């Protein structure tokens, strides 16, 4: 019995017993230890196996493989760029589709901003669509966030857009909530803050801050219900007895890069009177 | 007489004008300082005119002016005519009556740039009946004139370097 009282023998015995227990559990379908060990060593094996496999190749084979991988990487990079281009185009087309779906009468021509010349005032810009794309002078220019401006001059391949920040733009507009009407026109006082104004509002009008302003459609140049922006301030005109509202467009006119030209829409060119709309 | 360097120089001016036009017109590229962006083609035309004879100077003035005018979609107009005349006169004065020096060039550039931009404001803002001319002039045109003039200082040295490096003796 002196043999079993030896410390080393005790350790061996305990180890064997534990091993047997683990073996029994393993055989029963619950390989706890091996699962744990494999989980911890999986990554290491992957690296070492890979290194070992590479070690079997000679220099020429590795060089060839390296060249092939570089080529594949270049192809994948090209595909990735194409993917991003397609993704952008897809997003853009979805926006146009949404505009068209919501307004079936709109004939639209998507365009990109190509020029913002320093000599032009009120953040006017040029787009890459002209008469050859069906664009005409005075066509409205919009984005999915609302009215941006109108085509103030056009040639075969480009057009100049005067923005809603410019006093040159005059569009009939209404407060969607109160139906108060006025004229949207840019102002030197607010253009730099990407804001425009709704002028000639009756002094008794109920218009208030946060009201949404849309085009009225009167005049036949802009279709009805194009969003102009949100009222951010109301002031009295210093020259007459009317009020004017400062309107913040939902689009950043100073930075816009993609727009849509409305080449045709329902009631284009038809001049309506205010009373016609009330009758309807 | 061999004009090899002159031809290369004229070609270089052309490239410079094209590059400046792209720089000036590309959306969101040049930073806006106090509401103004520089009209790079004005100092480009002026600084070329300081070094070149009146006829080539005038043609470069017309080219820069035309790009300023119809590069934006408008027809040839204000800048084409003004820069054509001014550059012709500058080429003539600096060829026959004055020495090209930094001081002279700076003084002429400052006066002409300010004059051109103020006249533009008069014709296309005040006469067009746009609102708040005083506020808009101070917030955009003053900074535009100063920014343009400062860019002209850099362009003076660039064109002086081009002229000296590509001169036929």
**Res A12 pLDDT > 70:** no
CA neighbours closer than 13 Å in the CB half-sphere of residue B50: 29
User: A189 and B133: CB-CB below 8 Å?
Assistant: no
So what's the ipTM on this one? 0.76
User: A116 and B131: CB-CB below 8 Å?
Assistant: no
Which chain A residues are Cβ-neighbours of B35 within 8 angstroms? Answer: 192
**Cα-based torsion angle of the residue sequence A51, A52, A58, A60 in order, rounded to the nearest 10 degrees:** -30
Q: What is the mean pLDDT of chain A?
A: 80
**Res A42 pLDDT > 60:** no
Per-residue pLDDT reduced to its tens digit, A79-115: 888 888 888 777 777 777 777 777 788 888 888 888 8
A160 touches chain B (CB under 8 A): yes
**Res A219 pLDDT > 90:** no
Distances (CA, A) of A237 to A3, A149, A228: 111, 24, 20
A133 touches chain B (CB under 8 A): no
**Residues A247-257, mean pLDDT to the nearest whole number:** 90
User: A160 and B71: CB-CB below 8 Å?
Assistant: no
pLDDT in tens, chain B (169 residues): 567 888 899 999 999 999 998 888 887 778 888 878 889 999 999 999 999 998 999 999 999 998 888 665 555 678 888 999 999 999 999 988 888 899 999 999 999 999 999 999 998 888 888 888 888 898 889 999 999 999 999 999 999 998 888 877 6
CA neighbours closer than 13 Å in the CB half-sphere of residue B52: 27
User: A126 and B35: CB-CB below 8 Å?
Assistant: no
For residue B81 the two structure tokens come to 């005519």
User: A153 and B73: CB-CB below 8 Å?
Assistant: yes
A188 touches chain B (CB under 8 A): yes
Q: How many CB pairs under 8 A join A and B?
A: 69
Q: With CA atoms as reference, report the closest residue to A196 among A226, A158, A170, A175.
A: A170
For residue A27 the two structure tokens come to 């055989």
Contact indicator for A107, A263 with CB cutoff of 8 Å? yes
A255 touches chain B (CB under 8 A): yes
Question: CATH number for the domain including B48?
Answer: 1.10.1760
CA neighbours closer than 13 Å in the CB half-sphere of residue B41: 30
B31 touches chain A (CB under 8 A): no
Distances (CA, A) of A25 to A16, A21, A40: 14, 6, 20
**Cα-based torsion angle of the residue sequence A162, A163, A166, A167 in order, rounded to the nearest 10 degrees:** 80
Per-residue pLDDT reduced to its tens digit, B39-51: 999 999 999 999 9
- The whole-number pLDDT of residue A277 equals 47
- The whole-number pLDDT of residue A278 equals 46
User: B27 and A117: CB-CB below 8 Å?
Assistant: no
Domain range for residue B110? 4-165
Greater model confidence, A231 or A22: A231
CB contact residues (below 8 A), chain A span 85-114, against chain B: 113-114
CATH code of the domain occupying A108-279: 2.40.10.350
Distances (CA, A) of A149 to A117, A166, A237, A254: 16, 9, 24, 12
A121 touches chain B (CB under 8 A): yes
Q: Provide CATH 2.40.10.350 ranges for chain A.
A: 108-279
The percentage of chain B sitting over the pLDDT mark of 90, rounded to a whole number, equals 49
- The whole-number pLDDT of residue A4 equals 61
CA distance A208 to chain B (A): 25
| Total domains, chain B | 1
**Res A193 pLDDT > 80:** yes
A125 → chain B, closest CA residue: B72
């Amino acid at each position: 019995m002196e043999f079993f009282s030896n410390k080393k023998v005790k350790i061996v015995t305990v180890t064997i017993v534990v091993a047997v227990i683990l073996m029994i559990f393993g055989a029963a379908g619950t390989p706890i230890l091996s699962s744990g060990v494999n989980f911890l060593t999986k990554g290491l094996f992957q690296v070492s196996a890979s290194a070992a496999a590479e070690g079997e190749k000679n220099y020429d084979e590795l060089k060839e493989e390296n060249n092939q991988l570089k080529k594949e990487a270049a192809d994948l990079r090209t595909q990735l760029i194409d993917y991003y281009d397609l993704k952008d185009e897809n997003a853009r087309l979805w926006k146009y589709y949404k505009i068209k779906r919501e307004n079936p009468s709109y004939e639209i021509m998507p365009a990109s901003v190509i020029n913002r010349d320093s000599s032009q005032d009120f953040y006017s810009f040029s787009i890459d669509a002209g008469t050859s794309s069906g664009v005409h002078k005075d066509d409205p220019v919009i984005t999915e966030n609302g009215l941006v401006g109108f085509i103030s001059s056009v040639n075969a391949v480009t057009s100049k857009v005067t923005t809603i920040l410019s006093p040159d733009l005059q569009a009939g507009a209404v407060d969607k909530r109160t139906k108060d009407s006025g004229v949207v026109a840019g102002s030197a006082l607010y253009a730099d803050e990407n804001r425009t104004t709704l002028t000639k509002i009756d002094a008794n009008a109920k218009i208030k801050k946060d009201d949404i302003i849309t085009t009225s459609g009167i005049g036949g140049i802009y279709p009805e219900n194009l969003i102009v922006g949100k009222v951010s301030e109301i002031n009295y005109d210093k020259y007459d007895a009317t009020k004017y509202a400062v309107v913040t467009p939902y689009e950043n006119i100073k930075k816009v890069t993609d727009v849509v030209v409305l080449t045709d829409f329902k009631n284009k060119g038809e001049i309506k009177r205010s009373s016609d709309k009330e009758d309807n | 007489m061999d004009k090899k360097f002159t031809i290369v120089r004229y070609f270089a001016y052309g490239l410079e004008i094209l590059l400046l036009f792209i720089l000036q017109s590309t959306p969101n590229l040049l930073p806006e300082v106090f509401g103004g962006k520089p009209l790079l083609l004005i100092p480009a035309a002026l600084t070329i005119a300081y070094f070149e004879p009146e006829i080539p100077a005038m043609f470069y003035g017309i080219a820069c002016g035309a790009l300023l005018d119809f590069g934006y979609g408008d027809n040839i107009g204000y800048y084409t005519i003004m820069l054509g005349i001014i550059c012709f006169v500058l080429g003539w004065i600096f060829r026959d009556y004055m020495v090209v020096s930094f001081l002279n060039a700076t003084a002429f550039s400052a006066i002409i740039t300010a004059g051109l931009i103020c006249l533009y404001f008069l014709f296309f803002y005040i006469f067009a009946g746009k609102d708040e001319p005083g506020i808009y002039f101070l917030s955009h045109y003053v900074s535009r004139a100063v920014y343009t003039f400062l860019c002209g200082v850099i362009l003076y040295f660039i064109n002086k370097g081009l002229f000296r490096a590509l001169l036929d003796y």
